[in-house]
Structure 1
Amino acid sequence: MVNSDHKRLKVAFLLAESFTLSAFANFVDVLRLAADEADRSRPILCDWGVLSDTMNPVRSSCGVRVSPDTRLRDAGAYDYVIVVGGLMSEETGLSAPMTTFLQDRAAKGTPLIGLCTGVFHLQEAGLLAGYRCCVSWFHHQDFLDRFETERPVSDQIFVVDRDRLTCSGGHGAAHLAAHLVSRHLGQSAAIKSLNIMMIDNALGGDRPQPGQSLDRQPRDPLVKRAVLLMQQNIEVPLTVAALADRLDTPRRTLLRRFEADLAASPSRVYMDLRLDRALSKLASSDAPIPEVAQLCGFCDSAHLSKTLKQDRGWTPSQYRAAKRAAPPQP
């Protein structure tokens, strides 16, 4: 093996309990494929490892366990230290020694990366003060609830702010890894990795995150970002003017781009999202109808019932009853 001092990119991972395996695997595979010719997996141009204070295998959210290979006290120098998060509960944080390690490396100037809910762990460790950070649209409200004074970016796949890099997770982890490979090894190495992984093109961090499924799939990046904002603000819907202001674009431009891309107004798309969310909650939970109405941005159950009946032909009670009476899908 080539001496590790000659590696052009060295990273270390800290895995939170119940971490997201796909985010970790996507990131590592981009490094693996960039580190050698073809896909022979020799760590020639870059190196990676998993650090731990206990060396016990770490269980991912899907049950697969990953064994660390280096104790924290034996950790060397790294270009980046990456925290991979996953499920969120009181039992899934980082250990005190891991947090201390991160704080020590940050003080020494090592760039830190948060993958998936790894951004929560960096925030809890006090390592994102004054930085922009990226959170999945799915966890946007969770982040606001936990860190009331923070305003995360939830309409991009990753954010690079000086020596803090944060990523929404999923395939975004591969694109952030490709960004680093391009920076340290060159663009051709990044493109090769993604192509072998059957990912067509490297995406910049400002590309919109995918979100809740829509019948109309937006293609316009501005429209995608607007839809993500809608998804993040279902309980208290934003006005079209407020959406335009958040996106730093004129209201008329937003209206025109929605009509061109989706043949619908922002208000129509927003209503579809809210009604779809209401139907999903009615079908998948026993929440009282007034609660479902409130969670989906309606004044009360009567408002939801009237709107749903006019738009979809069901009242909430009728829809819930029909779903429960339907035979299970094979």
Structure 2
Amino acid sequence: MTSAVHSELVRHRVVVLCLPGVLPLELGIAAQIFSMNPKYELVVATQGRVEPTAHQTFALTGTEGLDALERADTVFVPGYEDLDAAISNKVLTAVRAAHERGSRMVSICSGAFVLAAAGLLDGRPATTHWQVADRLRKLYPLIDVQPDRIFVDDGDVLTSAGVTAGIDLCLHLIRIDHGAAAANTAARGLVAPPRRAGDQAQYVERLRSQPTGHELAGVREWMLDNLAEPITIDVLAARVHMSRRTLIRRFRDDTGTSAMAWLNDARIDRARELLETTTEPVERIGRLTGLGNPASVRAAFHRRVGTSPQEYRSLFRQKVTY
């Protein structure tokens, strides 16, 4: 048998590690995409003989146990329900050992917490679902958490946001392993977009940082009521009778970000709302929110949301009754 023929017969072994409370849809993403592709061998691994899925909707019997990770080319960790549940030492040891042997490690959504607990994300960029990104950052401060990414490829360790971002990451892996044509074929089978770059933003509910302090709550409310106005640090400092330096420091203490960054995100949030719920043209939305002319609105959206205002509207436009 020639080496070329042999290489065609050796399939890339994908092991999906399912913890108790695994999210069924995220388990299904990796399972379906790689089980359908003849270039991959799919194994579902569990620690116990039977594992419950999220909300105890049904139980899952894995095809193999944790020893499956010893022979994995890629290990997938889908999201799971209870982030307060302790991850067993057996699971963490198996995950670390797989990485040390050279397995590619991949997480979907909250599966990043398993990689983090195993120490595989320390000093690396990583993402997860935006709703739990702050929690990941607080629990594991050595990780460069990037909550506005749909996935992060850091070579041998890759992380993604939830559900559809997991599809994007799986297609990205097929593209790496077998080229664009193979990834596009897989995308057509899934009726999914063939490619979304990892730096596309997650469509989070709200972009602006949520305050942890209340000292400047009044001025933040005023900012939200006057987004169309030319607001500067000097204007804000005068309203609260503070020096520029004091206002800058206390605003960051309250929100974790600068006043101008918070204001810009508030303006984009308002623009998103108008795009979703009205037929106002982008030019008028720019005036109403203080984002400026249409070119400035488009630039702000691409930078912060990862798409254009028109594309965002086509995705999220609601029917408005007049």
Question: Structure 1 residues 149, 10: CA separation in 2 closer, same or farther (over 3 Å shift)?
Answer: closer
Partner residue, 1:72: 66
Q: Distance in 2 between matches of 1:15 and 1:262?
A: 46
From 118, 123, 144, the equivalent of 2:116 is 123
From 54, 57, 67, the equivalent of 1:60 is 54
Question: Structure 1 residues 74, 116: CA separation in 2 closer, same or farther (over 3 Å shift)?
Answer: closer
1:177-188 aligned within 5 A: 177-188=170-181
1:162-201 aligned within 5 A: 162-201=155-194
From 23, 39, 54, the equivalent of 1:20 is 23
Q: How much is the aligned-residue C-alpha RMSD, in angstroms?
A: 3.1
Q: Distance in 1 between matches of 2:70 and 2:8?
A: 10
Partner residue, 1:141: 134
Q: Distance in 1 between matches of 2:130 and 2:41?
A: 31
Q: CA deviation at 1:208?
A: 0.9
Please tell me the residue identity of whatever aligns with 1:28. Answer: A
Q: Distance in 2 between matches of 1:12 and 1:5?
A: 20
Q: CA deviation at 1:66?
A: 2.1
Q: Distance in 2 between matches of 1:206 and 1:8?
A: 30
The answer (yes or no) to whether the contact 2:126–2:143 under 8 Å persists in 1 is: no
From 24, 30, 34, the equivalent of 2:33 is 30
The superposition leaves residues 38-88 of structure 1 with CA deviations (integer Å, 9 ceiling, x where unpaired) of xxxxxx211111123332234234623221111223555222111122223
Structure number with the bigger relative contact order (C-alpha 8 A, sep ≥ 6) is: 1
The superposition leaves residues 271-307 of structure 1 with CA deviations (integer Å, 9 ceiling, x where unpaired) of xxxxxxxxxxxxxxxxxxxxxxxxxxxxxxxxxxxxx
Question: Structure 1 residues 67, 59: CA separation in 2 closer, same or farther (over 3 Å shift)?
Answer: same
How many equivalent residue pairs? 228
Q: Distance in 2 between matches of 1:109 and 1:203?
A: 27
Please tell me the residue identity of whatever aligns with 2:96. Answer: Q
The answer (yes or no) to whether the contact 1:20–1:116 under 8 Å persists in 2 is: no
Question: Structure 1 residues 10, 190: CA separation in 2 closer, same or farther (over 3 Å shift)?
Answer: same
Long gaps (5+) in structure 2: 213-253, 266-281, 292-322
Q: Secondary structure at the match of 1:57?
A: strand
The answer (yes or no) to whether the contact 2:109–2:128 under 8 Å persists in 1 is: yes
Long gaps (5+) in structure 1: 36-43, 213-226, 247-258, 267-330
Scaled by the length of structure 1, the TM-score of the pair is 0.61
Calculate percent identity across the aligned residue pairs: 19
